[in-house]
Amino acid sequence: MATTEEIRTQLADIVNDVAGVDQTDVQLDKNFVDDLDVDSLSMVEIIYACEEAFGVSIPDEDAKDLKTVGDAVSYIERAQA
Amino acid sequence: MRIMSATIKASQGAPYSRIYGVGGERGNRVVDNAEMCTIIDSSDEWIQQRTGIVERRWATEDQTPLSMALAASRKAIERSGIDPAQIDAVLVATGSHTRQFPSLAVSVAAGLGLKDPAATDLSAACAGFCYGLSLADSMVRTGTAKNVLIVGVEILTRQTDFTDRGTAFLFGDGAGAVVVGPSETPGIGPVVWGSDGESADVIWSDDWNEAFASGKKPVIHMEGNKVFRWATTFIAEKTAEALEAAGLKPEELDVFIPHQANNRITDSMLRRMHLPESVVISRDIRQMGNSSAASIPIAMEALLESGDAKSGDTALVIGFGAGLVYAGQVVVLP
């Protein structure tokens, strides 16, 4: 099982790759849109990359509720459990 | 009583086919993002960030799908060096011809003075040009045609919902044409194509009867994020397959001309495909907007005219759009 920090680190790499956000800014309390300036198209790519990287499925209706990095990390933790 | 039925003859064509000339025609009017934002509530920054579009070309009132198709075709034929009398098939890919029949292709053929060519329209939305390329390649190699004129032409601004701030800024009007003929060496690689009618509700045009019955103009609708996801995942894979089908390694490719749907789709495809830096990438959408079936030949002409690409280069092309449908192949540039 990956730890919360391991998931956050891997997610930070994905966010950096897709949207060019510095990895150190991708912290649990950060809002993707308001704090990290990630737009809706980048979110689509980030969600898909997470599905591939973490081997989970994130349907559209769930994806829209993932507002913060913490939301995404805990969703992935639950999905992997 | 006959024991065996008679054997029929089958046609035989050239060993290979290739593109001999390309021509483009753009809408006369340049509409920049500042002007666009007088029509919709948006901003230059927002539009550029999400699509890469700086300005788009709109057809003026005097421009029609036919006039633009003819202009592009004349350039393509002239550059091909092929005698128009030897063009015996015309394929027009369009979603902008406003009657079911006669086809736009027969009018294009007549307008060019072609005598008795096979002529028909193709309905494959933004993939139409690449569908046409594949059909033309098959026609030339099986001998059902010697030389095929393929045109992609769109005036989508006449089907645009200018109250929809998600799509109003997206489209550009234009035509692009190529002539495909026989060749001693391969010039059009194997096509990778398909369709998914289960996803017909991702990009669609209103039913024209229903629209007119309610006193409205039929317009285009799109679920942008769903299209984006499909294009950046499934289509990115198919694009890589088209390259592989032609037997090319990424480092052997010279040019990549994806349908000019959105620069962000192109960016994402590139991240997935790992094409080397040396590959020239078309970004024609910046000055053109999304011109659907016309985007690839228009972009091809632009790269050849600017010198970014040259005759003989290998180019990976892929069209994808409403249907959903897609088609992609590697071609040798004329």
**Residue B271 clears pLDDT 90, i.e. is over it:** no
Arithmetic mean of pLDDT over chain B = 95
Q: Are B50 and A48 within 8 A, CB to CB?
A: no
**Residue B2 clears pLDDT 90, i.e. is over it:** no
| pLDDT of res. B64 | 98
Contact partners, residue A44, CB within 8 Å, separation at least 6: B225, B228, B229, B232
Instruction: Domain B192-332: give its CATH architecture.
Output: 3-Layer(aba) Sandwich (3.40)
| pLDDT of res. B1 | 63
Q: What is the mean pLDDT of residues B280-300?
A: 97
Helices (H), chain B: 33-36, 44-51, 65-80, 104-111, 128-142, 208-213, 224-230, 236-245, 263-273, 285-288, 295-306
C-alpha–C-alpha distance, residues A36 and B279, integer Å: 31
Q: What is the ipTM of this complex?
A: 0.76
Query: Which of B49, B224, B268 minimises the CB distance to A45?
Result: B268
Taking only the tens place, the pLDDT of each residue in B204-253 is: 999 999 999 999 999 999 998 889 989 999 999 999 999 999 999 999 99
* Residue A75: CATH number of its domain: 1.10.1200.10
User: Is B24 in a helix, a strand, or coil?
Assistant: strand
Q: What is the mean pLDDT of residues B297-307?
A: 98
Residues of B in contact with A45 (CB under 8 A): 228, 232, 268
Beta strands B203-205 and B220-222: pairing type?
antiparallel
Q: Structurally, how many domains does chain A consist of?
A: 1
Domain boundaries, chain B: 16-183, 192-332
B274 is catalytic: no
Arithmetic mean of pLDDT over chain A = 92
Q: Are A44 and B228 within 8 A, CB to CB?
A: yes
What b/e readout covers B258-269, taking b as 16+ CB neighbours within 10 angstroms? bbbbbbbbbbbb
Residues of A with CB under 8 A from a CB of B: 17-18, 39-41, 44-45, 48, 60
Q: Are A17 and B271 within 8 A, CB to CB?
A: yes
Taking only the tens place, the pLDDT of each residue in B165-209 is: 889 999 999 999 999 999 999 999 999 999 999 999 999 999 999
Work out the pLDDT band at A1, boundaries 50, 70, 90. Answer: low
**Residues for chain B: how many in total?**
334
Q: Are A44 and B229 within 8 A, CB to CB?
A: yes
A39 is catalytic: yes
Domain ranges, residue A60: 4-80
C-alpha–C-alpha distance, residues B13 and B17, integer Å: 10
**Residue B135 clears pLDDT 70, i.e. is over it:** yes
| pLDDT of res. B95 | 96
Residue A22 DSSP class: -
Which chain A residue shows the shortest CA-CA distance from B270? Answer: A18
Taking CA atoms, B327 is separated from B241, B257, B304, B316, in Å, by 11, 13, 22, 11
What b/e readout covers A5-25, taking b as 16+ CB neighbours within 10 angstroms? eebbebbbebbeebbebeeee
C-alpha–C-alpha distance, residues B32 and B55, integer Å: 4
Residues of A in contact with B232 (CB under 8 A): 44-45, 48
Taking only the tens place, the pLDDT of each residue in B35-61 is: 999 999 999 999 998 899 999 999 999
Among the listed residues A22, A39, A62, A65, the single catalytic one is A39
C-alpha–C-alpha distance, residues B290 and B260, integer Å: 6
Taking only the tens place, the pLDDT of each residue in A42-80 is: 998 899 999 989 999 998 889 989 999 999 999 999 998
In the CATH scheme, what is the homologous superfamily, with its name and number, of domain B16-183? Answer: Thiolase/Chalcone synthase (3.40.47.10)
DSSP per-residue codes, B157-215: GGG--TT-TTTTTTB--EEEEEEEEEESS--BPPPEEEE-GGGTTSEEE--HHHHHHTT
